[in-house]
Amino acid sequence: MIRTSRRLADGREILYFDAGDTAPPRDAEDPRDLPPVSTRSQLRWDPLLGEWVVLASHRQTRTFLPPADLCPLCPTRPGREPTEVPEADYQVVVFENRFPSLATAVERDVPPAAPGAPLTELRPGFGRCEVVVFTSEHDRSFATLGADRARLVVDVWAERTAELSAIEGVEQVYVFENSGEEIGVTLSHPHGQIYAYPFVTPRVEKVLASVERHRREAGGDLFADVVSAERAGPRVVAANEHWTAFVPAAARWPYELQVFPHRRVPDLPALTAAERDALAGVYLDVLGRFARRFDTPMPYIASWNQAPVTRGREDWWLHLQLFSLRRAPGKLKYLAGSESGMGAFISDTTPEDVAEQLRNVKATGE
């Protein structure tokens, strides 16, 4: 893989990634007249929940569902407005988000607490938010990229995770993809994102606490026990030599998969070449099942759960959550009172039934 670093008109970094040992020159200049990125994010501590909340009001003006001929993620080509990608073609590209929730150049001078709330600590919205564009082709999806391009994306995820983890003050790196307008996607071009947080997220904190409690009370390894049981259980949907995808026994979402490597690793950079090859295969498999389960592809979130940067790494087991809020053709699961108000999920589907449905999708799609 070859990486080429350039700068956009407002100073943001853009990285081109090309498979193989050679790459075309990546020297196109960004001709736009852009003002410097202004980021006013801040973190506020919720003393009741014990969680950080990011305030990023400047994102209200971000691009929202532009027509295809004005897509900012397409390459810049003659006859159309310049985009975020100056080159006329590319394989995979990563750039700093123009409307970031977190940024390294954020204003650092913030009060110690929110106005009139001395228990609500304030911190600068430090971090980094990147966009990962999987292909220059606007009408593709990750499920249709093919094994070679998917493998390149896996390498890019790993490279970015390693580099962002090395930034002082970053505590967790989160790789994810939102797909489908129903999920809230504002740009339809196939892409994902990476957030470098200055704190450990609530989900990871909760899982680490569960791991410690299981060790203390049962004397076992929670991740290992869960993976072993699920690999031998009735909810496996797809598997290969290095990975298993299964519907979790207590799935929250109508359609949900977890994808685990068979070897404990803390994050994507720790995967071997063979494990990365196998990941590309199983990931395309399960995305294809989501795409063909109904008459239209399911909207989904693909969420990589990686270990924190500075703690809990020896306990963590890298895994992917892939889930959709579609529960039936033309019907979505909305987070209503129980889920949104109390965080208590009520599922409209049964994990064992969903696993059987997804296992059958491949046969009917061949």
Cα–Cα distance, 55 to 107 (Å, whole number): 13
For the chain, what is the radius of gyration of the CA atoms?
Answer: 21
Cα–Cα distance, 173 to 257 (Å, whole number): 21
Cα–Cα distance, 275 to 283 (Å, whole number): 12
Query: Binding residue per annotation — 214?
Result: no
DSSP 24: -
Cβ-contact 42, 120 below 8 angstroms: no
DSSP 204: H
In this structure, which amino acid lies at residue 275? E
Asked if 242 is an active-site residue, the reply is no
Q: Which one of 58, 191, 214, 262 is the catalytic residue? A: 191
Cα distances from 84 to residues 2, 11, 131, in angstroms, run 20, 12, 10
Cα–Cα distance, 161 to 197 (Å, whole number): 12
Cα–Cα distance, 134 to 207 (Å, whole number): 30
Numbers of helices and strands, H then E, in the chain: 6, 17
What residues are paired with 309 via a beta bridge?
none
Query: Binding residue per annotation — 129?
Result: no
Residues composing the chain = 366
Q: Tokens 């700068």 label which residue?
A: 7
What residues are paired with 260 via a beta bridge?
244
Q: For residue 234, report the phi and psi dihedrals to the nearest 5 degrees.
A: -85, 0
DSSP-assigned states of every residue in 254-315: SEEEEEEESS--SSGGG--HHHHHHHHHHHHHHHHHHHHSSSSPPPEEEEEE---SSSSTTT
Cα distances from 236 to residues 12, 123, 198, in angstroms, run 43, 43, 35
Cα–Cα distance, 25 to 150 (Å, whole number): 22
Query: Binding residue per annotation — 319?
Result: no
Which residues are part of a known binding site?
71, 74, 138, 189
Which residues are part of a known binding site for Zn(2+)?
71, 74, 138, 189
Active site residues: 191
